[in-house]
Amino acid sequence: LVASVPVKKILKILQETYPDARCALNYTTPFELLIATMLSAQSTDRQVNEITRELFKVYNTPEDFAALTPEELAPYIKACGLFKNKSRHIIATARKLVTDYGGKVPDSLEELIKLPGVGRKTANVVLSNAFSQPAIAVDTHVFRVANRLGLAASDKVEETEMQLRKIIPRNHWSQAHHWLIFHGRQVCHARRPGCPICPLQSYCHYKKID
Ligand code: SF4
């Protein structure tokens, strides 16, 4: 961790730059958000929204999905990456929700990560967006941007999450997740970060300006 990193300034600039940053997945219930987030691994949010627009018209409760076989679900989601695995995990998760949780998505990290195919990132997305709990989901953008800015200093996702939880005030956790994603998508790209136009360049040790 860069000891002198001006966290407050960085967060303020992110907030001013991305005032509308929010979850880009479409959903109407915690369960729909859980499924959309499970589908989003190695897929774009736009792809997932296209899939769920049709999928949720036909199936949108744990009971609906629990009654399917992976082969029945696969055709609906095959436009996204890893669809065979996702199909198996989604159905197994739906069945566990029905048998162990009365068909409700649990609202704690410990319970969410017990669901098949649900890791900390998915659990944190559900907690912060569907249950309004402070949480920082570390996806590929959050991981890259946070480590470039010195908000974290780790090559591990979970450690990055813990460092961000320490350095960012709790009331900003959920928004900071969205700000870092927006910044990663719009400016701080993986291969060619837009350092010359970056509003954070004075505070970034990683910046590359020719
Ligand atoms: S200066 Fe460059 S590396 Fe640093 S946050 Fe901005 S775009 Fe990313």
> Would you list the DSSP string of 80-143?
STTHHHHHHHHHHHHHHHHHHHTT----SHHHHTTSTT--HHHHHHHHHHHS--------HHHH
Distance of CA 39 to the CA centre of its chain: 11
* C-alpha closest to that of 94 among 127, 121, 72: 72
Ligand 1 centre distance from Cα of residue 118 (Å):
30
Average confidence (pLDDT) per 10 residues, the chain, 210 residues: 82 97 97 98 94 98 98 95 95 98 98 98 97 96 97 97 97 97 97 96 88
pTM: 0.93
Ligand 1 centre distance from Cα of residue 183 (Å):
9
The CA-based diameter of the chain, rounded to the nearest angstrom, is 58
Active site residue 96: no
With a Cβ cut-off of 6 Å, ligand 1 is lined by: 148-149, 187-188, 193-195, 198, 200-201, 204, 206-207
Of all protein residues, the one whose alpha carbon is nearest to atom 3 of ligand 1 is 207
Decide: 164 and 203 in contact? Cβ < 8 Å: no
Instruction: State pLDDT tens for residues 44-94.
Output: 999 999 999 999 999 999 999 999 999 999 999 999 989 999 999 999 999
